[in-house]
Structure 1
Amino acid sequence: MLSATAIRRWYWVHKWTSLVSTLFLLMLCITGLPLIFYHEIDHATGYSIEPPEMPGVTTRVSIDEIVADARARRPDDVVTYLFRDADEPEAWFLSMAETPSSPESSAFYMYDARTGDFLHEYPLNQGFMNFMFRLHYDMFTGLPGTLFLGFMGLLLAASLVSGTVVYGPFMRKLPFGSVRHERSSRIKWLDLHNLLGIATLMWLMVVGVTGVINTLAVPILGLWQQNEVTDMTAKYKGQPPLTQFSSADQAVATARATVPDADLSFMAFPGTDYATPHHYIAFMHGSTPLTSKLLTPVLIDASTGAMIDSRSMPWYVKALLVSQPLHFGDYGGMVLKILWALLDILAIVVLGSGVYLWLKKRNVPVEARLGMLAPEGATS
């Protein structure tokens, strides 16, 4: 067993990593709860719609027709990205911006993939879910806020590990999961805090670690562009930007022929952050629960529509792509989402009880608070 000195040190780590991070983690858990059901809430509030049912209709409209319609709606803007959504297989989504390199979109359209009908224009930077996402993602401060929240996730991991170490000596003379209802409210909340903390330990660790990885999305993708994309497009360096592009239909067909067992997730148009001035880059995904989250990029010459290169994503991008849906329980349909939501609520109770215990703390030694420490000098 650990010595009393070692336990005091672990307790100090648990106390201060928890105190520093708890309020931010509470905010993340509270904002993360509706984000688990982002798609469903958007539909319920009218920010998103579903394509009309057309039984037996299997035809697909030309993507170029959809692109032309979008350009006609905003003739001074450019199409930047083309999307598919696994939850809306009968729809195409297009984003537009003032220029290919604009940091913000000017419009986001939804089209029926079978008929080409314009279905919906999404309100940009509006609504309850957008507010919750921005607060959860970067606290409206951009990359510095994202990285700061990633650091809070590291503190969470340290708090979980140290709390697990401290929990063993604390529970040595109590049955596992005991809640001493006959004691003071502080003791009852302490027992409940410890019990729920252990019960949600693995989930909190998974969500915390995947959250930290997600906060590194911008550096990770920047590294991929600097290394992989730069290497694939080296021979185009110094050439003037194109003024005429091959069709989007041809680019998508080339990508599907290159990766025949996959489908399009999204395609970046020339000049955007995820492409180059001379290329489309189509990102293809598989059909299984795992491969549907992984992407294979296909580099396509924007003047001819020919395939230039296609490479598997490096391990660090794959880690990011896997962690993003896992963070929100987006792997097993509604059942996993509900489980994620229940665990999130328990995490809110753990964090809230931690704040309560700190506010009600008493000026007594750590040994008295834990009550179960081994004699000084005992070792494991």
Structure 2
Amino acid sequence: MARWPSVSKKFVAQILSAHAGLGVVAGAVLFILSLSGVLVVFHEDFARWEQPGAPEMHEYTPEVASLGMANAIARYQSIHDGTLPDSAYMVLPTRAAPRMTALMGDDAWFIAPDGALAGEVDHAYSEFLIEQHYYLNLPHTPGIILVGIFGAIMLALVISGFAAHPRVFRDAFRFRRSGNPQLAEADLHNRLSVWGSPFHVIIPLTGAMLGLSILFAVVVGQSFHEGDMRYAFQPTFGAEGVRSDAEAPIADIAPALRTMRERRPDVEPWFLDLEYPGTESQSVKILSRLPRRLIFGEYYQFDAAGEYQGQVGLENGTVGQQIIAGAYQLHFGSFGGLPVKIAYALLGLALCMIVASGVNLWLMKRAARAKASPRLERAWISVIWGSPALLALCFIAVSSGAPSVWLAPIFWVGLAGMAILSTFIQSRATLSAGLKLASAAFIVLGVFWHAIASGAPASHAFWGVSAWLLLTAIALAAAAAFGFARAGRASREPAPGTPDPVSSQA
């Protein structure tokens, strides 16, 4: 089948107009979400790279985990005047992230192979990337809802893009990279959209599901549960226990871990929740990954003595539970190991190019109609190539000891300032090449600064991530050199109303 069902030219024009309008309004945010999403796919690798000296273990005993939890609770009490946390969490070592950490409130510590505390967890940069992609660095509830809305906008763009392209299948391999720059940009936009269409549907769909589910939870909580939005998630993730004020000895998590290994040796425990420690209502939940399943895991429940109490039901639950539990994995590529991560990164970069080329097309069409927007064109270049430069600058700030609260202002204020200043730069080609070079320089500086500050540890994770970052910097530097060469060959900037092929290279 070579064509969509027959549609009128007027309908196609209306859809194209709506598609372009949505894309321009949301373009900058969608590009930043797409770029940060590429990096968040590797958040575990970035965390290991960020603190390369933290202890790692590929095997551990329940007794070591129990000792680590006890030490972490004791440390928490010493910091907080003897009070206990509502929940004491432990991230267990896995193949992908062989580190054990204890988390309580805003405090987190690494656990050494002997169960001792081994320093505070400080993943300021990794957490900044997560905060940007999940919440746009806003307060969590409004931030994730806003991201969900942009996910819905991106899905609308994908659908309207296909509806506006009646020859989507016939032109699937048509790729013109010479001659008319507008046609070349259109082919780049359309081909990448078609070739990665399953990914480009799944990512915004699952993002919208995850973000807008919080909006649903807020409405349900405000309407029926005195503002507590947790009730909306109980059918999927199970209900929380009822806290008792009666004190009890802090539960030992070792029996629950031993029982878990005996009952389900086929699963990989990776997260433990000791709920209400030091009370008669305390219990243990162990979240485990299941082999050859798309869901993010199953919660196995134990009482304070380590007796098995059942599971929440994600493993064999309802269709709704399966869909929600699988949406996390599909959105973040948290399945299949490194090959899937690399595939998600490449498809995510393609999505960045689709967003960038979509706005480029709109700008080029305006220029062709003698309605050029040179200031807007320069501001858009600063968004595309200023974003990676500022992300690298944020890491340099972290490595230099800057507080983590500075990172969001450095990025967002820096991006706004860059967009304003870029409007006064005459050459679009020079602006584009200069920002690429700045991105490359900041990445190289950040990698070497971090290597010096951390003592260049003999860690495969550290050197692997460093190598990939340096290769990225080399590619950006090469693109910058090519851009400067093209700018040098040009006798003058294109006249107003003339499409600029250099400015479209995003």
- Fold-level match, TM-score > 0.5? yes
Match of 2:363 in 1: 359
Q: For 1:297 and 1:223, how far apart are their aligned partners in 2?
A: 20
Aligned-pair CA distance for 1:263: 4.3
Q: Kindly tell me: are residues 264 and 338 of structure 1, through their superposed partners in 2, closer, same or farther at Cα, counting changes over 3 Å?
A: closer
Match of 1:340 in 2: 344
Q: For 1:39 and 1:205, how far apart are their aligned partners in 2?
A: 25
Q: For 1:310 and 1:340, how far apart are their aligned partners in 2?
A: 31
Q: For 1:129 and 1:309, how far apart are their aligned partners in 2?
A: 34
Match of 2:68 in 1: 66
1:288 to 288, 291, 314: 291
1:129 to 121, 126, 130: 126
Match of 2:112 in 1: 112
TM-score (norm 2): 0.59
Match of 1:187 in 2: 183
Partner AA of 2:360 in structure 1 = Y
Match of 1:100 in 2: none
Match of 2:437 in 1: none
State the SS of the aligned residue for 1:177. coil
CA contact (8 A) 1:83 1:93 kept: yes
Q: Does 1:51 align with 2:56?
A: yes
Q: For 2:236 and 2:172, how far apart are their aligned partners in 1?
A: 55
Q: Kindly tell me: are residues 249 and 292 of structure 1, through their superposed partners in 2, closer, same or farther at Cα, counting changes over 3 Å?
A: farther
Q: What is the 5 A alignment of 1:171-186?
A: 176-179=173-176, 181-183=178-180, 185-186=181-182
Per-residue CA distance 1:252-293 (angstroms, 9 max, x = gap) = 345555656434332222239xxx981324134244142673
Q: Does 1:311 align with 2:307?
A: no
Q: For 2:166 and 2:8, how far apart are their aligned partners in 1?
A: 12
Q: Kindly tell me: are residues 72 and 277 of structure 1, through their superposed partners in 2, closer, same or farther at Cα, counting changes over 3 Å?
A: closer
2:143 to 138, 145, 165: 145
- Structure (1/2) with the larger helix percentage: 2
Aligned-pair CA distance for 1:351: 0.8
TM-score (norm 1): 0.76
Q: Kindly tell me: are residues 227 and 292 of structure 1, through their superposed partners in 2, closer, same or farther at Cα, counting changes over 3 Å?
A: closer
CA contact (8 A) 1:96 1:108 kept: yes
- Structure (1/2) with the larger strand percentage: 1
Match of 2:425 in 1: none
Q: What is the 5 A alignment of 1:195-274?
A: 195-216=191-212, 218=214, 219=217, 222-225=231-234, 229-230=238-239, 240-256=245-261, 259=264, 261-271=266-276
Per-residue CA distance 1:284-317 (angstroms, 9 max, x = gap) = 424414267321331x333x54444433135444
Q: For 1:354 and 1:246, how far apart are their aligned partners in 2?
A: 56
Partner AA of 1:72 in structure 2 = A
Q: What is the 5 A alignment of 1:68-83?
A: 68-74=70-76, 75-77=78-80, 78=84, 80-83=88-91
Percent of paired sites with the same residue: 20
Q: Which runs of no fewer than 5 residues in structure 1 stay unpaired?
A: 98-104, 365-380
Which stretch has the larger CA shift, 207-216 or 83-92? Answer: 83-92
State the SS of the aligned residue for 2:188. helix
Partner AA of 1:223 in structure 2 = A
CA contact (8 A) 1:151 1:212 kept: yes
Q: For 1:171 and 1:43, how far apart are their aligned partners in 2?
A: 43
Instruction: Give the count of matched residue pairs.
Output: 339
Q: For 2:313 and 2:60, how far apart are their aligned partners in 1?
A: 31
State the SS of the aligned residue for 1:360. helix
Match of 2:327 in 1: 323
Which stretch has the larger CA shift, 11-20 or 148-157? Answer: 11-20
Q: For 2:355 and 2:339, how far apart are their aligned partners in 1?
A: 25
Q: Does 1:94 align with 2:102?
A: yes
Q: For 2:136 and 2:282, how far apart are their aligned partners in 1?
A: 34
Q: Which of 1 and 2 has higher RCO (CA within 8 Å, sep 6+)?
A: 1
Aligned-pair CA distance for 1:342: 1.5
Partner AA of 1:333 in structure 2 = G
State the SS of the aligned residue for 2:7. coil
Partner AA of 1:311 in structure 2 = V
Match of 2:33 in 1: 28
